Structure 1
Amino acid sequence: MILSSPDPAADPYLAAALLRLQRTSYAMEAALIGDDRIPPLQEDEIGLTAWRGRWVTAWDGVRLVGAIAWWESVDVVEIQKVMVSPSAMRRGIASTLLGRVLEAASSRPVVAATGRANAPAVSLYGKHGFRAQGDEQVPPGIWITRFRHAA
């Protein structure tokens, strides 16, 4: 697995590949939670490239198999997206990507959210020391669990 830290706005090929990965990965979450209104499934390439956070991507040769996106402030790091290709699951890709964000966070807390019924993601965050902070309904009918990893 090769990791890189690209800027999708600077590379149209990468932006298109990320959007394909995002749609296939989040379609699985939508199936788990029983609702396809989750924001990553509504995003287009313009929205993806306009977002100005940080990315780490995982490649198997020339095939994009995973990505994580986050933004940072002085006080906190917030994970926005974790994506793994369905054909590459159960290979530790999400754990590797999450580890990169935890390293980048240094002494800052890291927060994340996922669908409450997304058992694989809930398990991933728990495995890496995140603690559930509570559930929230956003939008109505879609429940997420918010997580925090103390510095």
Structure 2
Amino acid sequence: MVIIKTVSPHDDPLGGQLLAVQKAAYAVEAELIGDDRIPPLHESLTELRARDLLWLAAFDGGELSGAVAWAESSDELDIDRLVVAPSMARRGIGRALVEEVLARAGGRRVVVSTGRDNVPARRLYEGLGFTLLGETEVIPKLWIAGYALVS
């Protein structure tokens, strides 16, 4: 049974576990998009902790299986990262985490971006009703797809 709860990367050993899941998840995305220049893939624990983000994590049998982090303002939530341990992929954990963020949106717009060629992530966001805003080349030959949803 998956349990989702609020967490902080400042907690030990959870911060290190979040970083490990993040690196493993972004390594999968790097393979999918054919580019490993994804900034969170190369983040240190200090850099992860320095980000002003709110976090939820999913635990399955006490083990960290995924997490989502976002920034929010009075009119928008920006999902900064969604990571699922590769061994737990395709089990609905990412969907459950995004749905929990959407439940907290309170009518605010929710935005997210993912690698343009990350088909599983794009299917997830589109399946949840997100609308494609466009595709952007953020650095040479690295493209992202931006999405928005008004909850």
Pairwise same-fold verdict (TM > 0.5): yes
Q: Deviations over 1:51-100 (max 9, x none)?
A: 12111100112211000000100011000000011111111101100001
2:16 is aligned to 16
Percent identity of paired positions between Structure 1 and Structure 2: 44
Q: Report the Cα offset of residue 144 of structure 1.
A: 0.3
1:119 is aligned to 119
* Superposed counterparts of 1:16-35, under 5 Å: 16-35=16-35
2:102 is aligned to 102
Q: Report the Cα offset of residue 12 of structure 1.
A: 2.3
**SS in structure 2 opposite 1:138?**
strand
* Runs of 4+ more than 4 Å apart: none
Alignment root-mean-square deviation, CA: 0.8
1:139 is aligned to 139
Unaligned runs of 5+ in 1: none
The count of residues paired between Structure 1 and Structure 2 equals: 150
Higher strand share: 2
Q: Deviations over 1:20-79 (max 9, x none)?
A: 000000000000010101011121000111112111100112211000000100011000
> Normalising to structure 2: TM-score of the pair?
0.97
Taking the aligned partners of 1:102 and 1:29, their CA distance within structure 2 comes to 23
